Chains A and B, each alone.
Chain A
Amino acid sequence: MTEGTKEPLPDSRNVPALLVALQTQQRSCTVVVTGTPGGAIHVRDGLVVAMETPGAPGVEGLLLRSGRIGEEAWSAVRAADTTHEHLAAELVHRGLVGAGELEVISLSALFDAAFALSLAVPDSWEVTDPVPTLYRNAGVTPERLLGEVSRRVNLLAGEPGSVAALARTRLRTASTARIPGIVGRLPARHQDVLATTDGRRTARDIAFTLGRGLFSVMIDLRLLLDRGLVRPHTPSTEQRPSTAPRIAPPAAAPSALDSTSLPRRLPGRHSAPAHRPHD
């Protein structure tokens, strides 16, 4: 374990404080964060080089879902480097993706995962040995990471808590989006987001479907919300299942029921009584 050979980490109150401590000690490790969504933060020589979380598409998702590289080519790269320590170099070496392009994707996935992780308070975290991961960048300081995350939250926030709520909300296309000519005047990427907004998908689901970042999808959704083209999907059955009331409605007058008592089946007669009070 790395823990035994290095000086112990001070007790960190939160993940940002832990990252600053790791930067001071120039550690190489992986911080496993548990919670919803949870994830892993990869630190090399004190700088953050990659983050993975189920809350946002990672480098692999961005490469594959956007169609930049095919599944077969990706499998071949993974098979060629079973330790997964040189995946980035292998991708560039095979000419599947340019070095600059991979650097852009690696950084955008890192900041996007940081943004996704910031939307929920983690349950706990653990510092482990470095886990090999796909990245190609020189590393980012915790200060820059936090600065960018708060810039993103401020950019989206209308009121406190609204960013996390927006990330969780299922959205559907508003009826205004069906008016001819409206959608056609949107930039192509807004049209793509609109096409995947179906009432079941959240911002995260749309990001995974399109192979784009969570934050960039949320920026587009915020604009579409402001223009009234999408709206939160609130199914009518959300409050409680539609069952019959279990108590008699108080409006029913008991005296009226007494006067016409329930029809009684008489022995020897199989048909229903001729007179039914509710007919």
Chain B
Amino acid sequence: MSSLDAALGRALTTPGISGAALLDAVTGLSYAELGDVSASQDSCEIAEIARIRLTRAGAAGELENVIVTTSTQHLVTIQLPRQGDPLLLCATVDRERTNLTWALRELNRHADELLA
């Protein structure tokens, strides 16, 4: 099993996180995906729009995350800075089973392990 799949598998043990994918923030290439990841490709486009528009509007600093909330889910996209083009960790979070703060905390914890 690949080390990326294993790391995503650990992230999915968090209650309420039903799917996760690791994407390239520039090319949109999916490096690994597990569980419900139907929205991951769109997340990449949304993050790119947010990144470009925010810088154009004069926002300082780099994009950290984008959260899209529907009546049942949060689609959380966390940008993982690294040497070279950044990566995106996209996760589908069930609103019924967890809250956003907890999910973000857990995802950030697992994000650190992803590239180790």
Contact = CB atoms under 8 A, between A and B. Distances in A.
Contacts of A212: 84-85
Given A98-B116, A100-B3, A101-B115, A67 B83 contact: yes
Interface residues of B, number: 27
A104 B27 contact: no
A111 B85 contact: no
B109 to A, nearest CB: 15
Contacts of A187: 51-52, 55
Interface stretch (A6-14, A79-87, A117-125, A214-222): A214-222
Point out which of B4, B7, B52 has the most chain A C-beta atoms below 10 A from its C-beta: B4
B2 A138 contact: yes
B27 A216 contact: yes
Contacts of A108: 24, 27, 29, 31
A189 B85 contact: yes
Interface in B33-92: 51-52, 55-56, 58, 62, 82-85, 87
Nearest to A216: B26
B24 A101 contact: no
Contacts of B22: 104
Interface in A182-214: 185-189, 211-213
Contact of A104 (B55, B56, B62, B115): B115
A93 interface: no
Interface residues of A, number: 32
Nearest to A217: B26
Nearest to B5: A138
A244 B10 CA distance: 74
Nearest to B57: A185
Nearest to B8: A100
Contacts of A100: 3-4, 7, 113-116
Given A100-B3, A103-B31, A138-B2, A189 B83 contact: no
A112 B22 CA distance: 17
A111 B24 CA distance: 12
Given A219-B26, A220-B26, 14 more contacts: A67-B83, A68-B84, A100-B7, A100-B113, A100-B114, A101-B82, A103-B2, A104-B31, A104-B87, A108-B24, A185-B55, A185-B58, A213-B27, A216-B24
